[in-house]
Amino acid sequence: MNSLLIGELSPEQPSFEPTKNKELIHEFRELRATVERMGLMKANPVFFLLYLLHILLLDVAAWLTLWLFGTSLVPFLLCSVLLSIVQAQAGWLQHDFGHLSVFGTSKWNHLLHHFVIGHLKGAPASWWNHLHFQHHAKPNCFRKDPDINMHPFFFALGKVLSVELGKQKKKYMPYNHQHKYFFLIGPPALLPVYFQWYIFYFVIHRKKWVDLAWMITFYVRIFLTYVPLLGLKGFLGLVFMVRFLESNWFVWVTQMNHIPMHIDHDRNMDWVSTQLQATCNVHKSAFNDWFSGHLNFQIEHHLFPTMPRHNYHKVAPLVQSLCAKHGIKYQSKPLFSAFADIIHSLKESGQLWLDAYLHQ
């Protein structure tokens, strides 16, 4: 590092940026050391093995439903629901492998990540890594977190950005109605209309041939499995229905922890403060943990992104104490309140945009 040394700061110069909370960072590092000593960064292999097995069993059950009961409407819908559960739960599991939180070595995490996201879901690992790592580095920071790229072309997000957009007299959509059209272009459309096709463009444009090969194994498998039972039209209908149901599940769960929180430009805050102001939790329960893949512990996940998810509830009281000491609000809410807060926040930011657009 000597070649990068420009010089030493004079004694009267601050060695820490004023926008960052030095004491909070120091205490978080101590908390991180405590967590490691408690063994909370070590995964329970049985947990993840059983989780994978329950996904595979549901996948088989979906096919057996059509094979045993025929392809009439009721078995078709039941098969669609089962496959949607498979896709959603595989999405949460690939998230674990993508964060390197299952195995002690990155090699095995990467291999299983390719298997789950590529073979079980038909999506590229490189695409997920590219987007998700940016999200974790700067959550809810405009132009740095790709998860909020729907601002401003589809939605006006956050109080600060919405007022700014209104003052600039920009109107790409009728944002004061965004809490209504969210139900049309948000949960139902993200996967079947956008992600389903963009992932192929991504891997071909970036020449990610290994990812493409894994994706092809998924489509070959489901084609050979379901076309003999449903025919080509029925198969395409099944794929669309599964992506539609999965999309609703995915969007509501992933947005409930972030959209209602602070959204702004990057203000060069310290990493811990950046994570805490952009995340909130949903109360723990057996169903909530399963339904969200333990992402109901979003605060703990963002502070400890490589921690195995089954340990989030163990570290949560320590995080709450840290937040209380520094006067930082630690939010946890019921599941349906979290869903409702997405709509409330969209309605509020849409109204803020309108007021600024008309009067400022």
CB contact set of 126 (below 8 Å; sequence gap of 6+): 202, 203, 206, 208, 211
Cα distance between residue 249 and residue 247, in whole Å: 5
CA dihedral 135, 137, 142, 146 (to 10 degrees): -30
Residue owning tokens 């992933």: 254
pLDDT in tens, 240-292: 999 999 999 999 999 999 999 999 999 999 999 999 999 999 999 999 999 99
Please report which helix (H) or strand (E) contains residue 204, including its range: helix 196-205
Phi/psi of residue 180, nearest 5 degrees: -95, -50
User: What value, to the nearest 5°, has the Cα angle with vertex 303 and ends 1 and 129?
Assistant: 75
Residue 122 predicted with pLDDT over 80: yes
pLDDT of residue 50: 98
pLDDT of residue 1: 65
Mean pLDDT, to the nearest integer, of 19-37?
94
Q: How far is CA 187 from CA 192, 240, 243, 356, in A?
A: 10, 14, 11, 28
Q: How far is CA 284 from CA 2, 14, 295, 307, in A?
A: 49, 42, 10, 17
Phi/psi of residue 333, nearest 5 degrees: -145, 165
- Write out the E strands in the chain: 281-282, 332-333
Mean pLDDT, to the nearest integer, of 19-23?
88
pLDDT in tens, 51-94: 999 999 999 999 999 999 999 999 999 999 999 999 999 999 99
pLDDT of residue 335: 98
Q: Which of 31, 51, 33 is nearest to 294 (CA)?
A: 51
pLDDT of residue 2: 72
Q: Do 266 and 144 meet the contact criterion of CB atoms below 8 Å apart?
A: yes
Average pLDDT, the chain: 95
Q: Which of 336, 320, 177, 342 is nearest to 261 (CA)?
A: 342
pLDDT of residue 277: 96
Q: Do 24 and 270 meet the contact criterion of CB atoms below 8 Å apart?
A: yes
CB contact set of 343 (below 8 Å; sequence gap of 6+): 179, 182
For the chain, domain boundaries: 22-359
Residue 127 structure tokens: 């695409």
User: What value, to the nearest 5°, has the Cα angle with vertex 299 and ends 314 and 307?
Assistant: 55
Mean pLDDT, to the nearest integer, of 327-343?
97
Could you tell me where the DSSP H helices lie in 114-151?
A: 125-137
3-state secondary structure of 141: strand
Mean pLDDT, to the nearest integer, of 201-215?
97
Mean pLDDT, to the nearest integer, of 162-173?
96
Mean pLDDT, to the nearest integer, of 152-181?
97
